[in-house]
Amino acid sequence: MKFAAKVEPNFKKLNVLSEIGWKYLEIFTSHKFINDDVVQLLKNYKFEYVVHAPTDYFDKSIVDFADNIGAKLINTHKIIEDDVLVGLVAKAKAKGIVVSIENEAFPESHHLDDNGKTLPTILTYSPIRSGGDFLRLQEKVPDIKLCVDVEHAIIRKEYPSVIDSCYESLGHIHLCGFNGGPHHRPIYENMELMQHTARLLRKCKYKGFVVAEHDIEFHTLEVWEKTLKECASLFGE
């Protein structure tokens, strides 16, 4: 497995992560920084990347961005219609890139726009909330993989069943230290959950990225150091 941190392409943060020994990163993308300068910034480091598409759009620009930084996987939410998704998955596959769809936790979008309003996109389409939802989508889009957000699965009472039912199609994993309270806490706050998830993934012979998806307030040297020190051995190669 490849133990990764989720981070925006920020020069100072990339430097910190590099200096303390992280090797794998999930880069969150948006229109405002998909440009040549950001591509060059990311190429200056020796990280292996995957890309998390924005929560409100997924289009060809994301595929091109991932290709330009050498990422082999794009994770997205189910925010576009099936026929559009089929085309984008095909474009990604042609570049050697896998697309994973993330399971949702809530019946409505919990993502907000810049003005604090709920984004309508996940309301518009049929999100993936269970293993059954994913397997039905996979019948229409055979090359799609599943991203299991463990926190989302717990909220939906789909953990660990979503991993058990879709283990052959796992493409990506998101982890937080969720224990029934606030979301996106540092993963070392729930080591019992981390240990259990690690055992499940090893049983499935999962080899992909396992991402510490912390809230931006925890993007600090201290949290990243502690996360790497306490959790990397669970999910390392």
CATH of residue 92: 3.20.20.150
- Using only C-alpha atoms, the chain has a radius of gyration, in whole angstroms, of 17
DSSP code per residue over 136-168? HHHHHSTT-EEEEEHHHHHHTT-TTHHHHHHGG
Q: What is the pLDDT of residues 57-116, one digit of tens each?
A: 899 999 999 999 999 999 999 989 999 999 999 999 999 999 999 999 875 555 555 666
If you ran DSSP here, which 8-state letter would residue 118 be given?
B
32-46, 115-129, 218-232: least confidently modelled range: 115-129
Query: The domain containing residue 161 runs over which residues?
Result: 2-235
Structural domain total, the chain? 1
Q: Report the Cα–Cα distance between both ends of the chain, in Å, rounded.
A: 5
| pTM recorded for the entire structure | 0.93
User: What are 103-146's pLDDT values in tens digits?
Assistant: 998 755 555 556 666 665 555 567 888 999 999 999 999 999 99
